[in-house]
Every structure is written in structure tokens, then in C-alpha cells.
Structure 1
Amino acid sequence: MACKVCYCLWLFLILLALFGSIVSADSVQNPTSRVSPGTACKSTPDPSYCKSVLPPDQNGNVYDYGRISVKKSVSQARKFLNLVEKYIQRGSFLSATAIRALQDCRTLGELNLDFLSSSFQTVNKTTRFLPSFQADDIQTLLSAILTNQQTCLDGLKDTASAWSIRNGLTVPLSNDTKLYTLSLAFFTKAWVPRTRTRTNTNTHTHTKKQLGFRNGRLPLKMSSRTRAIYESVSSRKLLEATVGEQVVVTDIVTVSQDGTGNFTTITDAIAAAPNKSVSTDGYFLIYVTAGLYQENVSIDKKKTYLMMVGDGINKTIITSNRSVVDGWTTFSSATFAVVGQGFVGVNMTFRNTAGAVKHQAVAVRNGADLSTFYSCSFEGYQDTLYVHSLRQFYRECDIYGTVDFIFGNAKVVFQSCNIYPRLPMSGQFNAITAQGRTDPNQDTGICIHNCTIRAAEDLGGVATYLGRPWKEYSRTVYMQSFMDSVINTAGWREWDGNFALTTLYYAEYSNSGPGSSTANRVTWPSYHVINSTDASNFTVSNFLLGDDWIPQTGVTYTDNFI
């Protein structure tokens, strides 16, 4: 009898524990349920750290904990920015490279403070799943914050003479990154709707819009010169479209080296643009006439909704030759750098002529949210195109390079582009992509859709791979693209031994050409040959929610599959 009682008691306790775990799991799944900090932290990347951040003696729901985390993140971002400023003030004791690394950290820190402040305004007043595009906005910002942290850290690590700075900044960088990771985890759980993929799988190619001024009318006070420029650009149909649709442009200026335009340098034209425009204001259009512009161009966060139109690839050329070998950080080596939201670049060539021997040398660094490049050429060797962060779209562009020549941690789609691996240094191999996702909750990745990969004329027999994992959760997808025999049969290449091979996400779908066979591809557990259902997550419509913002740019795009 006693044994039966013991057995019944034992069974009861097991059932009670099982019931408790089910209730606990349900509480974690339901973001409105009030749970202890310990329970809420179980679903975060670092539960121990999470518990150290949250108040220990009060229960709340995931929304409460998310707000606490984001609010603390705002405070820490401000403190870190102040710390960087103190180091910059010691400039006379630092090398030029160290100062550049600190200046990068300041730029990135300022962006982080902006992004976190904006995110907190949203999460502080909302206790529900957000609409898809609004959730995408905040998840994109919180993802970019982690990217900015990593970029700052990478720059400091690569600065050999700045060991004292690294020692002073690495710990706060690491601690703040843990906090930002926690904020992203809570946001993803509490505010991001569970089903975000759009169900429409019908292919539709959206044509370019006609270039036009606000409300389809020219400004009444347009000067005769500006009117002539407008008519010249319009008549060349640089942005063609179906009848009746127009790209809204509020003003237009010309850059011409012969002095016949408004400015002789691109930098001066950018300085004349209004600050903090919004999408409904329309674009400030900078028309850059044919010529070789030897400038390092920077479009900062204040210069939003600029459109820059050239006379065509290899006609309007922006060029420079900064490189890591010559003392620049990868971040600051860019010939053309853009951060201002809503940028559109059309009909231009961006070039870094440092050459393969100078290693990292960026032609374009793009950290502009909702940015688009159409019919542009990006020319360099190692690290040609730095798709740094946020949401980006490239259409009908040419990209030339060698090692990791499309790299970064943006949420980006390349569509109908030409990708040209070229001759690297002796002993090197080519990797087309090096995607830098560091956290599984980041919504970032590179999608190469309906593109063509062919060898540049000088490549020869150098081994070329689709990509390699720069960071732990690297994510890259090739779909419906043509791969010539330039692609090695293994397809993908390791970064360093087994690093990231179980955490990355690399995928191929319905590609063609002699280099597209997956029969001898790598056998990593995180490499996939995917079906149309999985591939649909990476279309312009689903991955970028591009139907909500690309049409206003006037750029052609295909929302789903071809």
C-alpha cells in the first residue's frame, strides 16, 4: 500500500512539473502574460545577462521587459558616445589611423543613439504586434545597431597602434552589444507579428516612373537654367515609366566640371541640399554630367531623399583610391559613402583604383535605409561594395571585384545585375559575398536574384566562390541567377576552419548555367538547396517589403519570382 501511495505521489509530482513547464512555456510564447524575469529571460540569447538587466523583484510581460531593455540601451548609447569623444580629444597623441577608427565609432554611435531613441518612442506606446512594415522598421534599426557596434569594434581591432583605445572601449562595446542583443530579442518576440510573409506569389515587374516635379508641375519660380536641366534630364528618359506616373522632385541642380552647372563638385551640390527631408517632400535631384570626378563623397544622415543621376555608366565616374594599406579603416576607405535615408543613385560609375595589392578598398559604402541604385557600376578589387546596414535594393547594376567584393550586413536584394569576378593578387581566391550577420534575430541578409555571374576579362583560372561566412550567422541566397563556369563546383568557401558552418544560412534556388550545379556543393549542415516556398521569403516583396517604398524611386523591380 505504501508503495502504491509513493508511486501515485511520484506520478502526481511528475505531472505537476510537466504541467508547470507547459504553463511556463505558454507564458513565454504569449508576450502579454506576466512572468518572472527568469522565465522571460529563458528565450533570450544570454539568460544570465538578461536576468542581470531586469529588476529581480517584479513580474512583468515581455513588453515591459522590452521597454526596460530599450530604455537602458538609449542610456548606454549616450554614455558610449561620450566616451568616444573623450578619446578623440586626445587626438594629438594618436596615429591618423587610430583617429579615423574613433571617428568611425563616433559616426556609428550617433546613428545608434538616433535609432534607439526612435525605437523607444515606438515600443513605449505600443503593447501589441505591430503592422508588418512598422515592425520591419524597428527590427531593421535594432539590427543595424548591432552592425554598427561590430563595425566600430572591427575598426579598432585593425588599428595596430591603438591598443590603449581598444582596451578602453572593447569592454563597454561588448557590454552594450549584449544589451542591444537583448533589446532585439525582446522586440522580435513581443512586437513582430508571427506571420509576415505576403501570400501573393504572382510575378509583377514594376516599370520606372517618369521623372517629374511635385504634383506633375514645374515649380513656378524655376530659373531658366533649372528648367533647361529638367527638360534635358527628362528628354533623355533617365527614369522612364508608364504614362501618368511621376517621381516627385522638389528641386534640381547640376554638377559640371566645365563650370556650366550650379556646382563643379558633387560634394558642394550635396551641401546645398536641404536637411532632413521626408519621403513626401520629394527628391532633391543632383544631375552629375559626364566626367571623371576625383572625390571622396559622403552623404551624411541629415541629407535624406537625395536622387543623384549621371549621364551613364563609364560616362559619369566618381573615383578615389583610399585603402586599408594606406592607413584608412575599411569603413572610411569608401570613394562614395551614403547614410542619408532614401538615397537613389542612377546611371553612374563608382570606382576605387587602389588595386588588389592594397587589400580592402571600398568603392561604395551604403548605410542608407530604403536606398536604391539603378544602372550603376561598382568597380574595385577587395571589398568593392560595402552593403553596410539597413534596407537596400540594386537593379541592373555591374559589380566588379575579387575578395569579398559584396560584403556587409544590410537587408539587400540585387536584381538583374551583372557580377564580374576579376583577377586578385597572386595566391588569392575570389569570394563574391561575405555577409556579416552576427545575431539570429537580425533580419539581414544578401539575396542575389536573377543576376548573371561571369568572369571579368582578366580573371583567368582563379577559383571563385559564391561566398564565405564573415560573421557567425552569415546569410546569403542565390536564386534564379545564371552562373557561368567561373564558379567552383563546391560553391562556397570556409572563412576559418569550422567557424559558422552550423549557424550560417546559405541557399540556392533554381539557378542556371554551368556553374549552378549543386551536385558537388559543400555538405555543411547550414547550406541548403531550397524550394519555392523557402525562396519566396527572399523576394523583393517579402524580404524588403519593397512594394511599400521602391515604387516612389521610379526604379524597375520584380516583386516576386521571374
Structure 2
Amino acid sequence: MSQILMLLVTISILSLSSSPSLAAEFQGTGNAMSRSNVCRFAPDPSYCRSVLPNQPGDIYSYGRFSLRRSLSRATRFMSLIDDQLNRKGKVAAKATLGALEDCKFLASQTIDFLLSSSRTVDATKTLSFSRAEDVQTFLSAAITNEQTCLEGLKSTASENGLSGDLFNDTKLYGVSLALFSKGWVPRRKRSRPVWQPKGSFKKFLGFRNGRLPLNMTGRARAVYNSVTTGPGRKLLQAEADAVLVSDIVTVNQDGTGNFTTINAAVAAAPNKTDGTNGYFLIYVTAGLYEEYVEIPKYKRYVMMIGDGINQTVITGNRSVVDGWTTFNSATFILSGTNFIGVNITIRNTAGPTKGQAVALRSGGDFSVFYSCSFEAYQDTLYTHSLRQFYRECDVYGTVDFIFGNAAVVLQNCNLYPRQPRKGQSNEVTAQGRTDPNQNTGTAIHGCTIRPADDLVTSNYTVKTYLGRPWKEYSRTVVMQTYIDGFLEPTGWNAWTGDFALSTLYYAEYNNTGPGSNTTNRVTWPGYHVINATDASNFTVTNFLVGEGWIGQTGVPFVGGLIA
């Protein structure tokens, strides 16, 4: 966002906050309540009372005021980050500049989220379930962005007085999320139908036994012969429910395609599309692509298809030890919405001694990965924020190797703990929910958890756990999953002392395999062995509200529990 645009946004927000019309809004319809009364719903009631106006209103007027103030604060923080970057220039260390650049990106994204949310709540008091889910997701992500920025600054010892702003902004966003959750979010509906695609995506790609073929060359040639690339045309027109594409390009390192690098193909994708004309399809032929790929937020509805796991490989080696923040260490960064990734391996080869080193960082809303592999050690798969779905993917890692604070379901995936650095233990997950009103969490559904080959053949014992609580309200559910016998009988590991043990939500449902026995599991207040009713809350249907956005991709999924 430009400085001029930020200034205009700030002026408009401040004028709204001080105008007589806003004061009149507090006398609107609904149940009038005092500031103290409404702040009972906030995580920090005292802070809530300090930021809301001391005059009667209803939940809607208070919620709108809080969102406007949140947007003003986010815009102010963006200016502070710009000032820091301008002062430090090229003098600061790479890690410090990287942390500030991360914060700038995150602040820009947060402004987008808060502006969209504010416009939505200003327009109505009644929202559909899916629209309410959108706003709750955006506000949840805004809080996550603040935490990510703060952690990056702390990791490089470069807080520069910004930590106080981040701390207060996070609390303010928590007030907005709490009031929105109380006022606008409708009661969740249960018993939605299980959805399965009718298969044109499968037919187009030549699926066999639910997997993609390793050699896509012939298929890709057939695509060119059978697809009209004009607006709104369908793949294989005879298919009534085919997946739409707007254009198809090929990446081939030998120069016979449209591009020789993946990033060049991404740059060619149209900006800010709404999906009406379909996906921009990038076919990446087999090869080892040593490049750091980024799908920016303005590249929407991109579909990327490779020749198969271990055939199309994207690789990098950035790590925290080598001066990168965890956030910007990723080999593949996804910020654009409605992305589909199929038949690709994404690696970070930094190794077990280099600390945090991410393969994929996903902060793209409505993202879907199918038949992909993510390979690294510590912090392999960074499910940073928003809504994500993974189907029939492989994930290899060691410490906290699936982490972040998205609303994410991994379904029919293979999770492979591998050999860590000596003295470390393996944790499959480290979920980062910091606010009880965030609609985030990690659901592992119908997967397989077994040791990677190097862990099987290791010469010393490594303890492996299902997860540990990275943040206070960490939420992870493992259900209908095969767990091999190498898992520690306690199942879950503490982060430090008794941190989050009573506020986290860890649950298991109907798992199988020698490691699934819950008899000797942890006895923390936040750990549960749940029934089918509770488990259904973490399915694609209820947790992701996924029928529509996953359904349009053609990727198969089970909406409810596996029968």
C-alpha cells in the first residue's frame, strides 16, 4: 500500500471514529449494554474497556467501532515499519531486514483483512454462515500476522520498540474478533452431506487408483489439443462438470515450453482474477528446479501441475541458521487465493542441523494440494493462516514439522517423522492458535503416521510425539488415522513446563495401529479422547466449510467422517 493511500485510509477511519453519526450508532437497535457488559466476551476484558467508548450500545455498534479502530492501528503500524526500513537501509543485518520486510508484508495483508471485515459488518447484522466464516477467518489471520511479525523481530533481536505496538494491536484485534463472534456468527449447522466429485478432473489428468500418473507429458500434449484457451472454456468439453481453465502454459528447462522457470510462468498469470474464466494452469515438466517460488497475493486461481512426486521437484536450502527468518526461509511461498498444487515435490535441503527451514509456507486462502510431497526437517510445512486442504500428500520432517495457525485438514496423507539432529525429539505438529475465538486448528484425518526410512535405521533412540503446544490455545485433532508403533505412549509432548496444558485442545478419535492406544496418553486438562459427534466438528464439511471451494477444484475429498 502506498503512503498516500495509507494516509487517506487513516484520515477516513479517524473521521469515522470521531463523527456524531458513530455516537448515534450506539443507540441503534438490539439489546443495549454497557461497555463493561460487552467486554465480558473479550479475552482481556480490562483492555477491552479501555478501548471501547464509554456509552451504551449494542454488540453490533461496539463491534463496528472496534474494527474501525483496529484498521486505524494496522495502518499506523505499517507506517512504523516503513520508518524502520527507511532508517536501517542497508546497514542492518540480513535477518533484521528480513524480519522487517516480513512485518511489512504481514501488515499490508492485515489491512486488507480488516478493511474487508469492516465493510462487511458495516453493511449488515445478518450474515450467511459462509460469509461469517470468511470474516472470522480474516480476523483470525490478522491476529496470526501480528504474532508472526513479533516472533520474527524477537528472533533477530530487532524489536526496536515495536513489540509494545504489536502486543496492543493483537489485543485490539482480539476484541474485534470476540465481538464479531458474539454478534454476527450464526449457530453452526450440522449433518451436512458428504460430497465427492464426479471426476472430470480425474479423467483429464488420467488418475489411476486415486493417484496421478508419474508421466504427464502425453497428457499435457493432449490438453493442448483438446482445450480451447478462451475465456470460460472447459477442459474436455464433453464433460458437463469439467474444471475450467483460462490458459495453459508449460515450464520446461530444455527451452521447449513457454518458460524455463516456474517464477516466469507465475509472473505471466493474470492479476486479481475472480475465477469466472477458470484457472491459469501451469504445467511443470519433470526436472529439478532450484528456485524460490512465490505465488503473490494478487495471483489468484493458479493451478500448478507437475509430472509427479520426485519427478517435478522444487528445491531450496534457506534456514534460520543461515540468517533467514522462519517465515522467509520457505522454498515455496503461497499467498494467492484459490491455488491448486498437484504432483509436485517441494524440498528444503538445509538439513537437520540448520534449525527452522521451511519447504512450503502457505498463507493462501482456499488452497488445495493434491498428491504432493513436502520434504525438510524442522518446520517443513508452515500452514501459516487462512483455509487449507491437503489430500494424499506426503510430509517428511522432524521438529514441529507441520506447524502454523491455519484452519487446515490433511486427509489421506502420509506423515513421516525422520531422523533429527542428535538430542532432538520429533513432533508431528505444533499448532499456533493464540486466541480462543480463532477458527483455526490442524485436523489430521484418515492419514498414516509411520517412521521414515532414516528413522527406522537410526542408531539411537528418538522420541516421536503427535504434537506439542506452540501457543496457548493450540488445537490439533487426529482422527481415523493409522499410527505406527514408534510413537511415544504418552502421545503428546509439552512445550515447556505446564504452558498451555489446560487451554490447548488436543483430541484423538478412532485411530488404528499399534501407536493408537490411548491408555497411557497424557492426562492434561486439554487432552481428550472424543466421540463421533465431537470429531465431526473437525471434518472438511464443518471445520473448513469446504464443499464449495474444494468441490470446484475437482480434487476428491470426504466431507464427513470416513464410513
Match of 1:244 among 240, 243, 252: 240
Corresponding residue of 1:25? none
What amino acid is aligned across from residue 360 of structure 1 in structure 2? Q
Corresponding residue of 1:376? 372
Corresponding residue of 1:493? 493
Q: 1:240–1:523: structure 2 CA closer, same or farther, 3 Å change rule?
A: farther
For structure 2, the residue ranges without an aligned partner over 5 or more in a row are 1-27, 205-217, 228-234
Corresponding residue of 1:456? 452
Q: Distance in 2 between matches of 1:242 and 1:462?
A: 54
Q: Distance in 2 between matches of 1:42 and 1:385?
A: 36
Aligned partners of 2:194 and 2:541 also within 8 Å: no
Corresponding residue of 1:408? 404
Q: Give the Å deviation of 1:439.
A: 0.2
* Residue 478 (str. 1) matches residue 478 (str. 2): yes
Corresponding residue of 1:110? 108
Corresponding residue of 1:15? none
Q: Distance in 2 between matches of 1:95 and 1:40?
A: 45
* Residue 283 (str. 1) matches residue 279 (str. 2): yes
Q: Give the Å deviation of 1:199.
A: 1.7
Q: Give the Å deviation of 1:204.
A: 4.6
CA deviations over 1:136-187 (Å, ceiling 9, x no partner): 0000000000000000000001003x2xxx1321011111111101000000
Q: Distance in 1 between matches of 2:406 and 2:198?
A: 25
Match of 2:123 among 106, 122, 125: 125
* Residue 135 (str. 1) matches residue 145 (str. 2): no
1:339-354 alignment runs, 5 A limit: 339-354=335-350
Corresponding residue of 1:304? 300
* Residue 172 (str. 1) matches residue 174 (str. 2): no
1:301-340 alignment runs, 5 A limit: 301-340=297-336
CA deviations over 1:320-379 (Å, ceiling 9, x no partner): 000000000000000000000001000000000000000100000000000000000000
Aligned partners of 1:210 and 1:243 also within 8 Å: no
* Residue 196 (str. 1) matches residue 194 (str. 2): no
Corresponding residue of 1:70? 67
Corresponding residue of 1:60? 57
RMSD: 2.1
Q: Distance in 2 between matches of 1:478 and 1:228?
A: 41
Aligned partners of 2:482 and 2:513 also within 8 Å: yes
1:260-271 alignment runs, 5 A limit: 260-271=256-267
What amino acid is aligned across from residue 115 of structure 1 in structure 2? F
What amino acid is aligned across from residue 550 of structure 1 in structure 2? I
Aligned partners of 1:349 and 1:378 also within 8 Å: yes
Q: The residue matched to 1:545 in structure 2 has which SS?
A: coil
Residues paired across the two proteins, number: 510
Q: Distance in 2 between matches of 1:543 and 1:556?
A: 17
Q: Give the Å deviation of 1:50.
A: 1.2
CA deviations over 1:14-46 (Å, ceiling 9, x no partner): xxxxxxxxxxxxxxxx99201111211122112
Q: Give the Å deviation of 1:278.
A: 1.0
Q: Distance in 2 between matches of 1:396 and 1:173?
A: 38
Aligned partners of 2:285 and 2:306 also within 8 Å: yes
CA deviations over 1:503-561 (Å, ceiling 9, x no partner): 00000000000000000000001100000000000010110011121111110101111
What amino acid is aligned across from residue 40 of structure 2 in structure 1? K
Q: Give the Å deviation of 1:54.
A: 1.4
1:152-231 alignment runs, 5 A limit: 152-160=149-157, 162=158, 166-193=159-186, 195-200=187-192, 203-210=194-201, 228=221, 230-231=223-224
Aligned partners of 2:333 and 2:360 also within 8 Å: yes
Q: 1:318–1:233: structure 2 CA closer, same or farther, 3 Å change rule?
A: farther
* Residue 396 (str. 1) matches residue 389 (str. 2): no
Aligned partners of 1:210 and 1:240 also within 8 Å: no
Give the TM-score taking structure 2 as reference length.
0.88
Q: Distance in 1 between matches of 2:350 and 2:46?
A: 46
What amino acid is aligned across from residue 559 of structure 2 in structure 1? D
What amino acid is aligned across from residue 552 of structure 2 in structure 1? Q
Which is higher, the Rg of structure 1 or of structure 2?
A: 1
Which shows bigger deviation, 290-299 or 43-52? 43-52
Corresponding residue of 1:33? 31
Aligned partners of 1:211 and 1:246 also within 8 Å: no
CA deviations over 1:221-245 (Å, ceiling 9, x no partner): xxxx9994624798xxxx9999532
Which shows bigger deviation, 45-54 or 427-436? 45-54
Corresponding residue of 1:98? 96
For structure 1, the residue ranges without an aligned partner over 5 or more in a row are 1-29, 214-224
Q: 1:31–1:477: structure 2 CA closer, same or farther, 3 Å change rule?
A: farther
Q: Give the Å deviation of 1:463.
A: 1.1
Corresponding residue of 2:254? 258
Q: 1:53–1:344: structure 2 CA closer, same or farther, 3 Å change rule?
A: same
Aligned partners of 2:357 and 2:380 also within 8 Å: yes
